[in-house]
Amino acid sequence: MRKNIVAGNWKMNTTLAEGVGLAKDVNEALKGIDAKCDVVICVPFTHLASVAGVIDSSKLGLGAENCADHVKGAYTGEVSAPMVASTGAGYVILGHSERRQYYGETSEILKTKVNLALAENLTPIFCIGEVLEERENGTFLDVVTKQIEEALFDLSAEDFGKLILAYEPVWAIGTGKTATAEQAEEMHAHIRSVIAGKYGNEVAENCSILYGGSCKPSNAKEIFSKPDVDGGLIGGAALDCASFMGIVTAF
Ligand code: PEP
């Protein structure tokens, strides 16, 4: 059975002290509740080791927001999957639209990153999603199909089964404009059918597909109630412990 998951993406926010404080707050808040989903925070590279030291990893997962497309060597400023894994992190966001858009990450690069992450037993949270123009011109289902096929369909069924997918319509990220629950469900059901076409129903049914894009406590319950939505990847609202917990407890 697939898991329900709420994952925070802190992006390039918080100093080390602020980030450790926020992680401690989320960790503390989780102690007081019986969460009905897995909870993960994906934090800046600089914070990983320190955050790993203050959270209970049995209740709160830790991830990076990216990793390099090489294992080691002369790649100044890059951080590799083995380095991420060595901090105690278990997850890594890959293919976020901000990485695709601002840092030129192509499906080819992402394919390499996914393989390197899996080799370190990191769970990729792999992001896909269309831009506004593609939503408006009606090509959004095809765009997302292509993103999945190009970056992920060389994986074995076993490796594909280790991924978490996150559908993040780019027009909804950080804009306050959320996809309706119906729009999310349409895409999530489509993604599941694309997976089923390649790997079969069992792999498709077991794949957790998260929604991301201006998700907040006020809309999470409705979005998460859809049968193919298995949780959320949360940006802005993950930077405030009460808001993030408001989304966690939407399950
Ligand atoms: C994200 O960037 O992954 C995201 C979903 O951001 P926001 O929740 O701020 O739209």
Mutation probe of ligand 1 site: the residue of 128, 170, 233 with most atoms within 8 A of C-beta: 233
pLDDT > 90 in the chain, percent: 97
Per-residue pLDDT reduced to its tens digit, 152-170: 999 999 999 999 999 999 9
Q: Give dist(CA 120, CA 235) in Å, integer.
A: 25
pLDDT given at position 108: 98
Question: CA angle 37-40-46, nearest 5°?
Answer: 175
Give the model's pLDDT for residue 63: 99
DSSP code at position 59: T
Question: Which class for 224: exposed (0-12), middle (13-18), buried (19 or more C-beta within 10 A)?
Answer: buried
CA distance 238 to 234: 6
pLDDT in tens, 210-223: 999 999 999 999 99
Q: Which distant-in-sequence residues (6+ apart) come within 8 Å of 95 by Cβ?
A: 105, 110, 113, 126, 127, 128, 147, 151
Checking if the pLDDT of 118 tops 90, the result is yes
Distance of CA 209 to the CA centre of its chain: 9
Is the pLDDT confidence value at 177 over 90?
no
For 33-37, the CB contacts below 8 A with 24+ separation are 33/245, 33/248, 33/249, 35/59, 35/248, 35/249, 35/251, 36/4, 36/251, 37/3, 37/4, 37/5, 37/6, 37/231, 37/248, 37/251
Residue 32 has pLDDT above 90, yes or no: no
Q: So what's the pLDDT on residue 66?
A: 98
Nearest C-alpha to atom 2 of ligand 1 is from which residue? 235
CA of 112 to the centre of ligand 1 (A): 24
The whole-number average pLDDT for the span 189-196 is: 98
The set of protein residues with a Cβ atom below 6 angstroms from ligand 1 is 9, 168, 173-174, 212-215, 233-237
Q: Relative to the CA of 214, which ligand 1 atom is closest?
A: 10
**70 assigned to active site:** no
Cα angle, residue 5 at apex, residues 3 and 10 outer, rounded to 5°: 155
CATH code of 5-248, in short, is 3.20.20.70
pLDDT over 90 (residue 178): no
170 Cα: distance to centroid of ligand 1 (angstroms): 9
Query: Dihedral, CA atoms, 31, 210, 165, 18, nearest 10 degrees?
Result: -50
Spot the catalytic one: 168, 185, 188, 190: 168
Can you tell me the mean pLDDT for 119-145? 97
